[in-house]
Structure 1
Amino acid sequence: QDLCGVTARDWYTDAERALLKLKDRVDRAIVVGLSMGGLVTLELAMRHPEMIAGIVTVAAALKFADPLSRLTNVIAPFVKYWPSPNAFNDESRKGLSRNYEKFPTKTFVELYRYSQEIADRLTEVHVPIRVIQSKRDQVVAAESANIIYEKVSSPLREIVWYKESGHEMMQDLEAERVFTDIMEFVCRFERSPRLHASS
């Protein structure tokens, strides 16, 4: 129910608002996004490259593992809720997941449409990017990472593969390595002059 009526514009607008609040307080930001947040991260890089030093996408939800995902628009009028697959490969964490067990099918339709929109605009990304993806992701098709890597226009682009993690990469079997790889990328960037809001 929390997700009923929520749109992709809502997701993006919330993130953009947070980024703009940082404008007077920090140097250019490095944005990290997981799953749907990876799509939002890519759009922020498209719209605000002057504010972003680099981005990291983690299991960005560009394409989905479920073959029925492309039919969600057809299914939505008849199926109210879409099941949320287990997102962990760590057996000890499967029962501890706080993710929704199911969510409105209309919300998934919104996510699917958003993923297609971002896929069509990837050439608009010019900032440095590190793409992180597990080959054992149960939610996002691993080929998503290749698509992002190949289509963005960023001169500096990297892809890092994991072999054991599920979709919740930042909490699963290789979480420590994920954070290490994120911070290694972040620490490459020297501080730049502060951005000042125009009056």
Structure 2
Amino acid sequence: MPVLPGAEPFRHEGGEAGVLLCHGFTGSPQSLRPWAGYLADRGLTVSLPLLPGHGTRWQDMAVTGWQDWYAEVDRELRALRDRCARVFVVGLSMGGALALRLAAKHGDSVAGLVLVNPANKVHGLSAYALPVARHLVRTTKGVAGDIALEGAREVGYDRVPLHCAHSLRRFFRLVDAELPQVTQPLVLLRSPRDHVVPPADSARILSRVSSTDVEEILLEQSYHVATLDHDAERIFEESYRFIGRLAPGVGKKGSVSGG
């Protein structure tokens, strides 16, 4: 299936500091493309992959699971490590959970984390029904597009395959158990008016990681997809400041590739 317009992966060859960006569940690189472009314009090496089953149609996603999504970002991290002296991982929503597992598993190979409205749990009573319900019902209503900014749009699916939701629930439980292994510097930016991921998820993550260099920032003007919302520029600036603090001298010219 062809990739939806705007959902293409993005890469930029820049300097010795690299950034891996992880998009969210049923979303696409489009939600993080402005952030990736901001970092690329400042000379960082950037990788924004398209997760398997995403960016086309929900039927393609229905045959994938967390192992496929994690394997993709794991490969991208290893490729960046071969190219860069220091690599940072950033993520939105489920992308935050992917980033946390990379940090837990790869240790010092990940220099720092920037998490935007990171998800830690599939909420609601329906979550407990997923093991059975996924065999009876194929999909449920989508979660994409929670944005306060008028006219802003997220390229994502309007349906959630229940098989994938079940896999996501298992993944969140796995990552939650691994959070004490996360020791890297961390910036967590969250929206108090997030209609997809509740504040409890961020609180849980911050209470369980072993990181000592931690900053929490509130995004008062934005909903869940804050990277496309009113606070987007603040996210970009805070992440660049964070990276610059830990990797002084970032910023060289490079080349861009997309699609």
In structure 2, how many angstroms separate the alpha carbons of the residues matched to 1:58 and 1:125?
Answer: 17
Q: Choose which of 87, 112, 121 in structure 1 pairs with 2:146.
A: 87
The runs of at least 4 aligned residues of structure 1 exceeding 4 Å deviation read 64-67
Q: Choose which of 91, 100, 106 in structure 2 pairs with 1:42.
A: 100
In structure 1, how many angstroms separate the alpha carbons of the residues matched to 2:132 and 2:210?
Answer: 34
- Residue 97 of structure 1 and its aligned partner are, at CA, apart by 2.7
SS at match of 1:89: coil
Quick check: 1:38–1:57 contact (8 Å CA) kept in 2? yes
In structure 2, how many angstroms separate the alpha carbons of the residues matched to 1:185 and 1:109?
Answer: 34
Q: Residue in 1 aligned with 2:54?
A: none
1:143 maps to a residue whose letter is A
2:67 maps to a residue whose letter is R
Aligned-residue sequence identity (percent) comes to: 31
Q: Choose which of 170, 177, 187 in structure 2 pairs with 1:130.
A: 187
Are residues 1:58 and 2:116 paired?
A: yes
Are residues 1:120 and 2:199 paired?
A: no
- Residue 67 of structure 1 and its aligned partner are, at CA, apart by 5.0
In structure 2, how many angstroms separate the alpha carbons of the residues matched to 1:68 and 1:91?
Answer: 31
List aligned pairs for 1:40-189, cutoff 5 A: 40-64=98-122, 66-85=124-143, 86-93=145-152, 96-189=153-246
SS at match of 1:187: helix
1:177 maps to a residue whose letter is R
SS at match of 1:29: strand
Residues 75-129 of structure 1 show CA distances to partners (whole Å, capped at 9, x for unaligned) of 2222210211342122322xx3311000211111111111111112210101111
Unaligned runs of 5+ in 1: 193-199
Judged with a 3 Å threshold, the aligned counterparts in structure 2 of structure 1 residues 132 and 106 are, in CA distance, closer, same or farther, namely same
Residues 164-199 of structure 1 show CA distances to partners (whole Å, capped at 9, x for unaligned) of 21111100121111111221211111359xxxxxxx
2:168 maps to a residue whose letter is L
SS at match of 1:166: coil
SS at match of 1:22: helix
Unaligned runs of 5+ in 2: 1-58, 250-259
Q: What's the Cα RMSD here?
A: 1.8
The farther-off stretch of 13-22 and 79-88 is 79-88
List aligned pairs for 1:11-22, cutoff 5 A: 11-22=69-80
Quick check: 1:87–1:139 contact (8 Å CA) kept in 2? yes
In structure 1, how many angstroms separate the alpha carbons of the residues matched to 2:206 and 2:84?
Answer: 28
* TM-score of the two chains, using structure 1 as the length reference: 0.88
Quick check: 1:33–1:56 contact (8 Å CA) kept in 2? yes
